């Protein structure tokens, strides 16, 4: 279930349900669920000049991944379900 508004530009909003496929290998520009220091987050995966998790809301900053960050990709988002 989506909490927060960091991905509103991708069409996922607070309260939406996201469908995650853990069998897919994440690639550049996928929207992924990542675990950073035991906290789950949904962001766009950027794998070009640097590795980042990018929000889809200009009010938030990207998370640049480095050796100090404990991060793993938990799955690739494949769909969003919205309840009206």
Catalytic residues: 6, 43
3, 48, 74 from 78: Cα distances, Å: 17, 21, 13
């Amino acid at each position: 279930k989506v909490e927060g508004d960091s991905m509103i530009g991708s069409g996922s909003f607070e309260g939406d349900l996201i469908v995650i496929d853990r069998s897919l290998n994440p690639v550049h520009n996928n929207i992924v669920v990542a675990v950073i220091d035991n906290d789950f987050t949904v962001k766009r995966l950027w794998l070009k000049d640097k590795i980042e998790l990018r929000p889809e809301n200009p009010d938030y900053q990207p998370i640049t991944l480095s050796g100090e960050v404990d991060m793993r990709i938990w799955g690739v988002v494949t769909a969003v379900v919205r309840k009206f």
